[in-house]
Structure 1
């Protein structure tokens, strides 16, 4: 028996850590899955070191799906395609995972079964889609759909991350300027005016400068403590639930997050439903990729409503999360019998909307950060200029 430690998530998105003794990685993953958990990562104590399974990101999955789709469309079997895929893989961790998947499939295991044994490496959505593709006999088409899905997801993720670079640089610049003025500039003017003659603004700025210079460690400790408290609090299920709910109601940010959620939900639901997976399972799996515990909780009600016979559009509208237009589009798809096609077009629309919303948000953040920087410098100048003017006047009198 080997001792493994693991990190997993439940259906609400809560992170759970633990340890298990198991004879193999497959047995470990089966034990975790039996508890209704999704394994994020696991590691094994081995000769004083730790062996961690490689977890595939969206870019890697898009690449692998494209390769598998192309090879199977050309007439290669899944066994041969996996053989080529793992041999050409350059990342050592990914190569080892694909090699193990290939070996299991070569022994007669299904592709989805081999992936399921590596559940900590592949998303549940990916495994479900492969399973549906094998059942329907259209695995090559499923791989193509997965490639498009992960390529679009990766594009949107990169867009959001890239858009945040400039505001983050400006924020760092603002903090650097504040520290520089507090440590280097303000102390120069301190001796120009007695404290009893200083106004409220001057006393506040010089007091802050003294605190940064003499009590910098307290400021640093305070920042670390605040960050630690926030990180710990977000691990508490009730706090995380309230935080995720509040994010959806924030000005500017809330509507953006809703559009991103609508795009991802549409894309995922379309891919699953078109592969022949029952609607209830589609809804349950689609909500898990939205990374919001509040939406996950609301989707429990959606699934219950659909099980009782309610249309998906009606059940979604009762959550009051998605826009009325989005629910109306779902309704049209249900009535026309072309739900998967309409969902795919809806995903394209909302992903473009999210892209535009990110651009607008960044466009608002840039001048806002510049204004904050300007106000900070303006306050310092407002405090320093009277001292400077008074010093020059005293020199002229002498």
Structure 2
């Protein structure tokens, strides 16, 4: 079965192939298949919740960009002729300059935006750049804690699935590290695996890995001491799944008011930049 699945190329994930291979070796294919079904059901549910959580912020960002384009391309240009002979304040000069720049060089802005996206995607394929970006993810304010929770949840669930299928802990770690989705965390596993081979426990080996929640190693330690490692891997995996969902909701809750406040501030600045010269014109007319 494992060879048949592997022959299909990218149709099936690497984790499933290795799990089936382990199930074949231990004679527990039925149990392995059920574990995989549960694993990918949870993955699908978590991904769906993350997409749903990010829908509103994405819509808000798009609306913000559209509003700014309308203001700079349609609203401000209607005041250009009125402001020709007026001594404009700095804020008005800046906004008019932005409006002129967008009108005259919009195609350059599109090219620059496209180049930045393509360049960023290409840079992520470079190992050193991906390493630094993945390391930065864990240290970002607000988002860093969320990413650590997600990585810990993913690793705990995968390790639990591999271990309960009868795979050795070293082989399980070698496979689980490739499913975390963070090159920086993955690079630290060589040292952890070496410690296990030298006789250290799993909890001691994972303790120094930066990018995991400290509760993971504590749970593993309790499982090792009580002889219930399988159970103590399952419980934190479920806890971290719930924690990842809660962290995603908190992140979205923070993003929404930040985006609304940003849009309000920009619109207020634009309104002020228009009203100030109009007020000056009104005073000049009143003094004549």
TM bracket (short chain):
over 0.9
1:288 matches 2:205 = no
1:350 matches 2:213 = no
Q: Give TM-score scaled by structure 1 length.
A: 0.69
Q: CA deviation at 1:191?
A: 2.2
Distance 2:154 2:119 in 1: 31
SS at 1:155's partner residue? helix
Alignment of 1:81-160 (within 5 A): 111-160=1-50
Q: CA deviation at 1:148?
A: 0.8
Match for residue 59 of structure 2 among 154, 169, 183: 169
CA contact (8 A) 1:112 1:131 kept: yes
Q: CA deviation at 1:373?
A: 0.6
What 5-or-longer segments of structure 2 have no aligned partner? none
Q: CA deviation at 1:288?
A: 0.8
CA contact (8 A) 2:23 2:165 kept: yes
Query: Which residue of the partner structure matches residue 386 of structure 1?
Result: 276
The change in CA–CA distance for 1:273 and 1:195 in structure 2 (over 3 A counts) is: farther
Query: Which residue of the partner structure matches residue 331 of structure 1?
Result: 221
What do residues 247-295 of structure 1 show as CA deviations (whole Å, max 9, x unaligned)?
1111111111111111111111111111110100000101111111111
1:207 matches 2:97 = yes
Q: CA deviation at 1:340?
A: 1.3
CA contact (8 A) 1:195 1:203 kept: no
Alignment of 1:256-275 (within 5 A): 256-275=146-165
Distance 2:219 2:99 in 1: 57
Distance 1:197 1:393 in 2: 13
Distance 2:45 2:25 in 1: 30
Alignment of 1:58-73 (within 5 A): none
1:228 matches 2:106 = no
Distance 2:89 2:281 in 1: 16
RMSD over aligned Cα, in angstroms? 1.7
CA contact (8 A) 2:86 2:281 kept: no
Q: CA deviation at 1:395?
A: 6.1
Q: CA deviation at 1:394?
A: 5.6
SS at 1:276's partner residue? coil
CA contact (8 A) 2:22 2:166 kept: yes
CA contact (8 A) 1:271 1:340 kept: no
What 5-or-longer segments of structure 1 have no aligned partner? 1-110
Higher RCO (C-alpha under 8 Å, 6+ residues apart): 2
From the two aligned structures, give the one with the greater strand fraction.
Answer: 1
SS at 1:120's partner residue? helix
Distance 1:225 1:135 in 2: 49
Q: Give TM-score scaled by structure 2 length.
A: 0.95
